[in-house]
Chains A and B, each alone.
Chain A
Amino acid sequence: MTTLTKQTDRKMGLVIDLDTCVGCHACVISCKGWNTENYGAPLSDQDPYGADPAGTFLNRVHSYEVTPNEGHAQLVHFPKSCLHCEDAPCVTVCPTGASYKRVEDGIVLVNESDCIGCGLCAWSCPYGARELDLAEGVMKKCTLCVDRIYNENLPEEDRVPACVRTCPAGARHFGDLGDPDSAVSQLVAERGGMDLMPEMGTKPVNKYLPPRPKDRIEDQIDILAPLLAPVAEEPAGFLGWLDKALDKLPGGNS
């Protein structure tokens, strides 16, 4: 059924730390690997070794340059996958009931045997979280690794989404964002976690932690700096004579 329930028991989701992400794309690769070998249709590639390679990904890392009014520009790496919205427009537009949001944990999933591949759910998603797989003709999206997180055949430390497990920087966190006492909820409260495009009214479950303010060079206390300061401001001795002599030659002194 593609109507949304008012409330889900839990709100499982990701917290992504834009301060820590180094833009290595390891989460993209581990996501593609796990979701090609496991749940649902594999994530296909078209012309993977040719001139115009393209493929289906459930997680992609953008990079943005942020230039403040004062100070230096900053580079922010920005992983983006399904935000498992509370008010998910992709679910209600689905004509067949293939797209649904689970009552028990809030994960948004696609029943691939009901999907007709009309693409309307991808049209309704402001985040570009859904991609139609060209080989299978069905809509693919992040499952929050639903086949890992409850999988008792895996060691306990592996029962998190593949992207979280693989992140070498610890920039991705997984947990219940509906529980104010959970580690992820506390992280969001502490760091001022934010929604993407809140004006769209989708109420995303996934939160993004903004980059911390960068240290400024002039604020730094450098104990070696006084010792390394130049002794003479004007060149003296041989270099001083050379400087003056070259200035006197025709051709202008610039």
Chain B
Amino acid sequence: MHPAPSVIIFTTLSGLGFGLLAFLGLGMPSVTGWVAFVFYAIAYALAVGGLLASTFHLGHPERAWKAFSQWRSSWLSREGCAAVASLVVMGIYAAGAVFLQADWRLLGLLGAALSIGTVFTTAMIYTQLKTIPRWHSPLTPLVFLSFSVAGGALLAGQESLAPWLLAVAGAVQLIYWSKTDKALVKSGTDIGTATGLADRGTVRAFEPPHTGSNYLLREFVYVVGRKHALKLRVIGFALAFALPIALMVIPFSGLMLKHLMAGVAVLLHIAGVACLRWLFFAQAEHVVGLYYGKR
């Protein structure tokens, strides 16, 4: 799949933003006033910034509002509805915390649930696609949810919890790779079933329909990153999980240094998740490539 920057920015930032919102809704940390304002500003910048980025790849962003209508069948529509619902609920909860020093517990819990639900709907957009065997796995929502919760804990300053959640997310990523690397082969779909000619002999793509490229090849048959995939996996894993855990666990003396290192851990984590998200798209094989003899 073509790793469109808009979608990578969206899933990376929004995942983090909604993860942070979930922790704020749970009251971890329980903040009010100016401190709350800063926390919520960061969370909304990430969540809303990501959502805005996602509209950049649309052919007609001005009609995006129509996407709220088909929640009964479409995960993309459900994602839009869930995102707006969690932003509105958490917005009211945040207003209470910032301006009235209030902690409306039930509203916070509802907002936290909606925030996690939004990340789940995002993951389901990819998970539902049978055409991309690597994504069509229960591990895909686990990847998205564990990344979001770990990143949220990191941003929410949950010093004791964050290293463990990062470790869990890292483990989920490793399991995802080990289980899905052979997904296309295991799916049973190949050029033989694609053309229906398998029982007649060995099928080989002889001539493509055209000499140039097309939308399908650009969107679904992305092979550029394959060569460095393993190196990028190591780099992404180190940045997203290993280094942030190390920075959280090593005891730094002094509050200033501790905060600085936490900030560094957050930045490393964001870079790492973006790298892993790039791989999530770039390594995903769409079965339409089979018609072109690709993969």
Which residues of A come within 8 Å of B, CB atoms? 1-3, 18, 25, 28, 52-57, 60-69, 73-76, 78, 80, 89, 92-98, 114-120, 122-128, 131-134, 136-139, 194-201, 208, 210-211
Contacts and interface: CB of A to CB of B under 8 A. Distances in A.
A118 B58 contact: yes
Contacts of B187: 199
A83 to B, nearest CB: 12
B136 to A, nearest CB: 11
A127 to B, nearest CB: 7
B74 A116 contact: no
Given A3-B73, A89-B131, A116-B60, 8 more contacts: A60-B210, A74-B201, A78-B195, A114-B63, A124-B128, A126-B288, A195-B196, A199-B193
Contact of B212 (A52, A89, A92, A137): A52
Contacts of A197: 189, 193-194, 287
Contact of B76 (A25, A93, A201): A93
A76 B197 contact: yes
Interface in B182-221: 187-189, 191, 193-197, 200-210, 212-216, 219-220
Interface stretch (B64-72, B107-115, B142-150): B64-72
Query: Which 3 residue pairs are nearest across A and B when measured between Cβ atoms?
Result: A117-B59, A137-B59, A60-B209
Nearest to B67: A95
Contacts of A114: 63, 66
A92 B200 contact: no
A89 B74 CA distance: 10
B196 A64 contact: no
A211 B193 CA distance: 15
A173 to B, nearest CB: 17
B56 to A, nearest CB: 11
B194 to A, nearest CB: 6
A69 B198 CA distance: 12
Given A92-B74, A199-B189, A126 B213 contact: no
A136 B60 CA distance: 9
B57 interface: yes
B63 A96 contact: yes
Contact of B215 (A94, A126, A131, A195): A131
A65 B195 contact: no
A122 B219 contact: yes
B207 A63 contact: yes
Given A53-B212, A117-B60, A132-B59, A200 B201 contact: no
B151 interface: no
Contacts of B215: 54, 56, 122, 131-132, 134
B70 A69 contact: no
B129 interface: yes
A63 B208 CA distance: 7
A115 B57 CA distance: 13
Nearest to B75: A93
Contact of B74 (A94, A131, A199): A94
Nearest to B215: A131
A63 B57 CA distance: 32
B70 A96 contact: yes
B204 A65 contact: yes
Given A64-B206, A200-B131, A94 B70 contact: yes
A221 to B, nearest CB: 25
Contact of A138 (B59, B77, B204): B59
B291 A62 contact: yes
B128 A93 contact: yes
Contact of A118 (B72, B76, B194, B197): B76
B194 A54 contact: no
Given A2-B70, A200-B131, A115 B59 contact: yes
B140 to A, nearest CB: 14
A67 B201 contact: yes
B197 to A, nearest CB: 5
Contacts of B210: 57, 60
Contacts of B197: 18, 64, 66, 76, 210-211
A186 to B, nearest CB: 20
Contacts of A136: 59
A57 B215 CA distance: 10
A64 B204 contact: yes
A122 B286 CA distance: 11
A3 B203 CA distance: 36
Contact of A97 (B66, B128, B132): B66
Interface in B251-295: 286-288, 291-292
A223 B77 CA distance: 70
Given A116-B58, A117-B60, A134-B215, A62 B196 contact: no
